Amino acid sequence: MNDNAAPLQVALIGYGFVGKAFHAPLINSVPGLELSVVSSRDADKVHADLPQVQVIADPLEAIRHPQVDLVVIASPNATHAPLAKAALAAGKDVVVDKPFTLDLAEARELIALAEKHGRLLSVFQNRRWDSDYLGVKQVIEQGLIGQVSHFESHIDRYRPQVRVRWREQNLPGSGLWFDLGPHMVDQALQLFGLPLSVQANIATLRANAEVNDWAHVILNYPSHKVILHGSMLVAGGVSRFTVHGDQGSVVKARADGQESQLLAGVIPGSAGWGKDDDALSLFVGTEPVRTLPTPDGDQRQYYIRLRDALRGDGANPVTALQALAVMAVLEAAETAARTGATETLPLTAAEIAAW
C-alpha cells in the first residue's frame, strides 16, 4: 500500500447493531480508510461514538456525497439491494453486509450493475477471519484428520425471549436462517466449493416468534456431508465445529470471541485482540486426544484486503460471485424446507463454471 495516498472516504449506511458494533470499529482500525459519513436518523447516538463524522439522515444523500469513495451498507436486509443499486449508479464502490440481497434476482442485478459501472462490489463476510474457523480450516488443510467425511458447524444462541427488533419481526429477509446462515454457508463454500444438493428443515420454535429461529441444513457433496445448524434455544453443551475424517476428528468447542470484544469496546488490533485460549481437540485414530493452539482471529483482515483491492494492490476479499453462491444455497435451503425435497442450487451453468 502507498502510505502517502489519501485515505479512502467511507460512508456507513445504518448505525444499528451491525453498523455500530462491527463496521465502524473495524473501518476505523484500518489505516487508509476514513469513516467520514454515517447515515442515521439519530445523530446524537452516532456522535457519542464518532464525534468527527458527518451524520446525514437520508441514506441516498449520504451515498451521493461527493467526497465518498466507498459506501458500506449496514441497513436492514430488505434495503440492501436498492441502496447498493443507488450507490453503484452513483459511481461508488460498495460493501454490502450479509445477506447480500433477499434473492438471486436482486443479486444478479447488482452484479450486472457493478460490471456496467466498473465498480468493486463486495459482501461483508467477516467470519472468514474467526479463530474457530481458521483453526479447523488449518487442521483440514494440513491433512491431520485425512479426507473429511462429516463437517458440522453450529452457531447457536440462548435467547428464549423474542426481542422487538426487525430481525425477529415478520419482514422480508428476517429470521435466523438469513441472519446466521450466510456465515455458515460462506465458510463451508470456502472449504469445499459448491455442493451437489441441499436438504433443509427450518422452523419457528419459540413461543410468540414471528420468524424462523431454528435451522438444520445439509449440504451434499460427492464424498462427505456438511451440516449447518443454528438455534435460538441452546443454553450450552454444543461445539462450534465438529469435523470427522478417515484418519481422525477435530472439535472446536467455543466460538471466536471478537464479537464479544467489539461489544465490550475492545479496539480491533489492540493487545489481546482475536486471541482464543480454547484449544482445538484433535483425535487421531485410537491415540490419546491432543490439543492444538487455536490461531488468532482478526476480522480487520476483511477491510485491510478491501482497502488493498481498492488501491489496486490485491483481490476483492469477498467477490459478488461468491456472495451469489451463498444466496443460491440460502434459497435452495428455503425451498427444500418448504417442499421436503432435495434441491440443487438455482445457479446457471455459467455461474457454476465461473465459481
State the residue for C-alpha cell 430481525.
167
Specify whether 209 is located in the same domain as 68: no
Specify whether 184 is located in the same domain as 56: no
Helix (H) or strand (E) holding 320: helix 320-339
| pLDDT tens by residue, 164-199 | 888 888 888 999 999 999 999 999 999 999 999 999
Residue type, 140: I
Is 310 within the bounds of a domain?
Answer: no
Identify the pLDDT of residue 2.
57
CA distances from 336 to 19, 174, 322 (A): 32, 18, 21
* Domain span including residue 51: 8-124
Q: 268's torsion region: left (phi>0), alpha (psi -120 to 50) or beta?
A: beta
Domain count, the chain: 2
Is 344 within the bounds of a domain?
Answer: no
CB-based contacts of 209, cutoff 8 Å, min separation 6: 162, 168, 232
Is 243 within the bounds of a domain?
Answer: yes
| Residue 1 pLDDT exceeds 60 | no
Q: Looking at residue 227, which CATH number applies to its domain?
A: 3.30.360.10
Q: Give the residue-averaged pLDDT of 312-336.
A: 98
Residue 71: φ, ψ to 5°: -110, 125
Helix (H) or strand (E) holding 48: helix 43-49
Say if strands 93-97 and 121-124 run parallel, antiparallel, or are unpaired.
Answer: parallel
| Residue 41 pLDDT exceeds 60 | yes
| pLDDT tens by residue, 238-267 | 999 999 999 999 999 999 999 999 999 999
Q: How far apart are CA 219 and CA 216, in angstroms?
A: 10
Residue type, 269: G
| Last residue in a domain, options 81, 103, 124 | 124
Specify whether 148 is located in the same domain as 233: yes
From the CB of residue 242, how many other CB atoms can be counted at a distance below 10 Å? 19
Specify whether 335 is located in the same domain as 270: yes
| pLDDT tens by residue, 204-244 | 999 999 999 999 999 999 999 999 999 999 999 999 999 99
